Amino acid sequence: MSENIKNLKEQEFATFISQGNVLVDFWAPWCGPCRMQGQILEQAAQDFVTANIKVGKVNVDEETELAARFGVSSIPTLLVFKDGKLSKTLVGIQQADSLKKQFS
């Protein structure tokens, strides 16, 4: 995983999303579309850093309570946070450009 993408656990989630623009990808290793979304995020990781967007990933198999808290029932699901507040939920594969536009 890119150094610009953080693998998130329950105990660090609130701190990670608390400030600024944050994109969180809920995924699972067995999910083909999730792997495709992961590649998109990896390729655009530096662009996200340049745009002041932090990117995190949550493995739904390991963090079931976190996924349930945000109503994640299909993956990949991407959550857009602005200063700790959920502003948008996106389900399915999203292209990097459309993800960046969520923060403008």
Q: Is 31 a catalytic residue?
A: yes
3-state helix, strand, coil in the chain (%, to 5): 40, 30, 35
Name the burial class of residue 21, with classes exposed (0-12), middle (13-18) and buried (19+) by CB atoms within 10 angstroms of its CB.
buried
d(CA 75, CA 93): 9
Residue 79 DSSP class = E
Q: Is 26 a catalytic residue?
A: no
> Which of 4, 13, 28, 31 is the catalytic position?
31
Residue 41 DSSP class = H
Whose structure tokens read 């079931």?
64
> Which of 8, 34, 58, 72 is the catalytic position?
34
Residues with a known catalytic role: 31, 34
